[in-house]
Structures are given as C-alpha cells and as structure tokens.
Amino acid sequence: MFANVRQRAFQSFNYRLRSFAGGRWAAHCRPAWPILMLTERCNAKCVHCDIWKNRGQEDSPSVEQWKRVLGDLRRWLGPVRVSFSGGEAMLKPYALDLAEHASSIGLLL
C-alpha cells in the first residue's frame, strides 16, 4: 500500500512541476513510469498495427545490459513502477528473468 501511495504522490508532484508557471520547472521532472521496449518483433497480426512486419535481424541489448539499465533506473528514480513492452516482450526468452530481477531490486511491476 505504501508503494502505491508513494507512486501516486510522485506522479502528482511531477505533474505539478510540468504544469506550474507555464512549464518552467518541467526540466526538473523525472519519469514516473518508465516503459522498456525489449523487442520490435511481434507474432500477432493485429489489424491496428503493422509491427509484425519487422522480420530482419534485431540488434538488442543483452540480459546483463538490461539488468544494468534496471539497476541504474532504481538508483536514479527509486522504487518506481516499470513496464516491459515492445512488439511482444514475451518473445524474448529472458523477459521473465528481467521482471524477476526488477522486482528483486525494488522496482514495481
């Protein structure tokens, strides 16, 4: 419960910084809910999206690089909520390992 209250207060504070005084304080805002795009591939052929057409070689970070990014996010932002996205994030075999690592270092999912 405390994490939810803290998250809401953090988002509220950042919103007020962005909108106060015509946005002069917007540069001092931090991301309230980072979304990490694990892949640009998708196996669904949704009508509203054409990302499934990406068939070429994908140059994406390794598991250790992603874990380093998560650690950096935790040190910079504190215990914020993080989302994993992409085309279809679960196409990456290490997606669950990253979610487990994020949870173990104090990030919220």
**Long-range contacts for 56-65 (Cβ within 8 Å, ≥24 apart)?**
60/92, 63/94, 63/97, 63/98
**pTM, whole model, 2 decimals?**
0.75
Q: What is the pLDDT of residues 63-88, one digit of tens each?
A: 999 999 999 999 988 888 899 998 88
What's the pLDDT tens digit per position in 7-31?
778 777 777 777 776 777 777 777 8
Place of tokens 């914020």: 80
| Domain range annotation of the chain | 1-31, 33-109
